[in-house]
């Protein structure tokens, strides 16, 4: 037979009538890995938050037309009334214009036009040195098709014809024993004809100012070896670019170099300047 301890009777006697001894609802904060803080009492502001949410849902919605600002108008008696009526544009029309500009495929040109206009305004109509040269001197640059050769083989041919006149370069390539010289010769004829037709340059006044080569794609080939082995070959393609200019450019460069030498001050190896503190004995 179980007998209750007398202290339990005192505890039950102290509890007021009508108060339940059931534990309060508690919540436990659990993190991603199951670890968290101790038990936390339920929030008492749930009813307040629900009431605020209900009020927000019941708040009247503002239409889009009310949110957009409207442009004001002048009085009917104003002398500028007709001009203002022509200039009035609704917000919807402004939005349509903006959307049309955004959908315009040539919208990237507006920034370039704005930049060029600002640059011209700063220069106040003055031309740069490159623009002045382009107005008086002509040049033509053409890149060839990809030639089946390497840069190591084509670069010496480019250095051989660079700085020579067109006729001298054609003569060099005609009698060159190199295999790639035939392709370079064909490109020389093509570039000369383009310069004459498109730029109006004269053959006897043209020379090759620059000639450089560029690496192109590679073609794969097979190299059969002993014991059934096969090596993969990478066959290169290279292009050559020629830049033709007129002899007027050479004359301008020579004239600029001469003027630069004339502006250079004369060097004095032993300048004539006064000497101070002369004594008949050394000071060390």
- Taken in order of first residue, the domains within the chain and their CATH numbers are 134-261 (3.90.470.10)
Over the stretch 258-283, which tens digit does the pLDDT of each residue have? 999 999 988 877 777 787 777 777 77
Judged by DSSP in three states, 243 sits in: strand
Judged by DSSP in three states, 27 sits in: strand
**Arithmetic mean of pLDDT, 116-134:** 83
Contact call for residues 240 and 190 (beta carbons, < 8 A):
no
**Arithmetic mean of pLDDT, 187-209:** 94
Residue 244 token pair: 């033709």
Compute the distance between CA of residue 97 and CA of residue 185 in angstroms, rounded to an integer. Answer: 56
Residue 82 token pair: 């007709």
Judged by DSSP in three states, 142 sits in: strand
**Arithmetic mean of pLDDT, 132-142:** 92
Contact call for residues 141 and 212 (beta carbons, < 8 A):
no
pTM of this prediction exceeds 0.75: no
Compute the distance between CA of residue 131 and CA of residue 116 in angstroms, rounded to an integer. Answer: 14
Compute the distance between CA of residue 19 and CA of residue 128 in angstroms, rounded to an integer. Answer: 96
Compute the distance between CA of residue 236 and CA of residue 219 in angstroms, rounded to an integer. Answer: 6
A 10 A CB-CB count for 117 gives 10
Return the pLDDT at 254: 95
Compute the distance between CA of residue 142 and CA of residue 264 in angstroms, rounded to an integer. Answer: 38
Return the pLDDT at 114: 76
Q: For residue 73, what pLDDT band results from cuts at 50, 70 and 90?
A: low
């Amino acid at each position: 037979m179980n007998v209750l301890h007398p202290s339990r009777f005192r505890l039950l006697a102290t509890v007021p009538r009508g108060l339940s001894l059931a534990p309060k609802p508690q919540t436990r904060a659990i993190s991603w890995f199951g670890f968290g803080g101790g038990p936390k009492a339920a929030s008492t502001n749930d009813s307040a938050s629900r009431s605020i949410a209900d009020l927000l849902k019941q708040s009247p919605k503002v239409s889009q037309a009310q949110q957009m600002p409207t442009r004001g108008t002048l009085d009917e008696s104003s002398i500028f009334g007709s001009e203002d009526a022509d200039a009035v544009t609704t917000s919807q029309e402004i939005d349509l214009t903006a959307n049309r500009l955004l959908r315009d495929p040539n919208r990237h040109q507006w920034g370039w036009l704005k930049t060029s206009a600002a640059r011209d305004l700063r220069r106040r109509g003055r031309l740069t040195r490159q623009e002045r040269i382009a107005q008086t001197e002509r040049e033509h640059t053409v890149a060839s098709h990809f030639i089946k050769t390497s840069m190591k083989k084509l670069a010496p041919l480019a250095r051989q014809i660079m700085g020579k006149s067109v006729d001298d370069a054609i003569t060099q390539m005609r009698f060159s024993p190199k295999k790639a010289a035939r392709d370079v010769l064909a490109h020389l004829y093509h570039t000369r004809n383009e310069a004459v037709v498109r730029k109006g340059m004269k053959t006897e006044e043209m020379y090759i100012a620059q000639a450089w080569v560029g690496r192109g794609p590679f073609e794969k080939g097979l190299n059969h070896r002993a014991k059934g082995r096969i090596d993969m070959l990478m066959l290169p393609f290279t292009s050559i670019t020629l830049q033709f200019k007129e002899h007027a450019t050479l004359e301008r460069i020579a004239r600029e170099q001469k003027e630069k030498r004339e502006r250079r001050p004369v060097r004095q190896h032993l300048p004539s300047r006064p000497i101070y503190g002369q004594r008949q004995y050394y000071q060390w």
